[in-house]
């Protein structure tokens, strides 16, 4: 099914009957990444899952977006769908969007399960900043052929450094989404956590390196009504790595 919001055609799916629950996927994923969860929940809930613009079967944005843009679009879509006080399961990037939704539009949100959610500013080490500053230097040198040649003499291949810069997530994106990715990952949403009043459960993988446990601990401290569950032997996709345990926790949290 499709709905046009702010000129963008967004794709969504609905399965099952019962009280509504909304699933919001992570960066680079889509509705299908939640398939096992949808199949488990649809026997007792009406499960609604959305493909964010640029992912799955939703339309690719023609201009760069921010996480605030995604949140506003999702809020408009929820109103179009007649959703209110809706329970949410959100993973990674979907957690960023949900933080803004819950803090700005509490009337739309019921209980929230934040799964390996992003949004808390990561801790950066010297290695990270060295890479950033080297990249910025190379961008400047690339505009000056003489300086670029001199850099090569000292073992710095400017063109190669620029080409190989960025994470795999970034390099695999179409050009129209690269600026969006930069906007999203550089946004610290921690100040919004104190405004979230929805009962919130934080489910994180013990071995998650993309959204490490210290992020969950920050969220637990800042959100008024929050609890933390750590899934052992699980990574960033903890709900797939420990699916049985994950569903047991979800069923308990969302029990009527």
Q: Which domains does the chain have, with CATH numbers?
A: 2-121+188-253 (3.40.50.1820), 126-176 (no CATH)
Per-residue pLDDT in tens (0 to 9) along the chain, 256 residues: 999 999 999 999 999 999 999 999 999 899 999 999 999 999 999 999 999 999 999 999 989 999 999 999 999 999 999 999 999 999 999 999 999 999 999 999 999 999 999 999 987 554 443 443 343 443 454 555 655 444 454 455 545 444 555 556 656 677 778 889 989 998 999 999 999 999 999 999 999 999 999 999 999 999 999 999 999 999 999 999 999 999 999 999 999 6
pLDDT of res. 174? 76
CB 142 within 8 A of CB 125: no
Place of tokens 């977006």: 65
Long-range contacts, 146-151 (Cβ 8 Å, 24+): none
The two tokens of residue 61 are: 């944005």
Burial class (CB in 10 A: 0-12, 13-18, 19+), 65: buried
Sign of CA dihedral 25, 26, 31, 36: negative
- List the structure tokens of 92: 């990674």
Using a 10 angstrom Cβ sphere, with 0-12 exposed, 13-18 middle and 19 or more buried, the burial of residue 75 is buried
Q: Taking the CB of residue 246, how many other CB atoms lie within 10 A of it?
A: 25
**Paired strand residues for 229:** 203
pLDDT at residue number 104? 98
pTM: 0.84
Tokens of 221: 């401290």
Give which of 28, 68, 36, 35 is closest to 52, Cα–Cα. Answer: 28
Q: Under DSSP, is residue 116 helix (H, G, I), strand (E, B) or coil? A: coil
Instruction: Return the number of other C-beta atoms located less than 10 Å from residue 90's C-beta.
Output: 25
> Residue 195: CB partners within 8 Å, gap ≥ 6?
102, 103, 104
Lookup: tokens for 68: 């605030």
What value, to the nearest 5°, has the Cα angle with vertex 245 and ends 244 and 249? 120
pLDDT (0 to 100) of residue 131 = 44
Cβ pair 232, 249 in contact under 8 A: no
17 token code pair: 């009957």
Neighbouring-strand partners of residue 109: 86
**Strand spans (E) along 71-136:** 86-91, 109-115
- C-alpha torsion angle, residues 68, 177, 74, 189 (rounded to 10): -30
């Amino acid at each position: 099914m499709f709905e046009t919001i702010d000129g963008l055609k967004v794709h969504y799916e609905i399965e099952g009957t019962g009280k509504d629950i909304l699933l919001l996927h992570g960066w680079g994923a889509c509705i299908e990444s939640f398939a096992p969860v949808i199949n488990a929940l649809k026997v007792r809930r009406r499960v609604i899952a959305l493909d964010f613009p640029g992912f799955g079967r939703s339309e690719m944005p023609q201009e760069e977006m921010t996480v605030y843009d995604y949140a506003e679009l999702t809020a408009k879509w929820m109103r179009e769908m007649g959703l209110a006080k809706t329970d949410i399961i959100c993973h990674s990037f979907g957690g960023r969007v949900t933080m803004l939704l819950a803090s700005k539009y509490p009337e739309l949100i019921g209980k929230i399960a934040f799964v390996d959610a992003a949004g808390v500013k990561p801790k950066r080490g010297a290695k990270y900043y060295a890479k950033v500053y080297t990249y910025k230097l190379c961008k400047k040198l690339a505009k000056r052929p003489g300086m670029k040649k001199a850099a090569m003499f000292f073992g710095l291949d400017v063109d190669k450094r620029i080409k190989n810069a960025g994470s795999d997530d970034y390099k695999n994106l179409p050009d129209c989404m690269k600026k969006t990715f930069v906007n999203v990952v550089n946004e610290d949403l921690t100040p919004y956590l104190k405004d979230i009043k929805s009962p919130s459960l934080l489910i994180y993988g013990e071995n998650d390196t993309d959204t490490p446990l210290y992020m969950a601990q920050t969220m637990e401290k800042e959100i008024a009504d929050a609890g933390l569950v750590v899934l052992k032997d699980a990574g960033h996709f903890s709900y797939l790595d420990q699916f049985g345990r994950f569903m047991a926790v979800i069923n308990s949290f969302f029990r009527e």
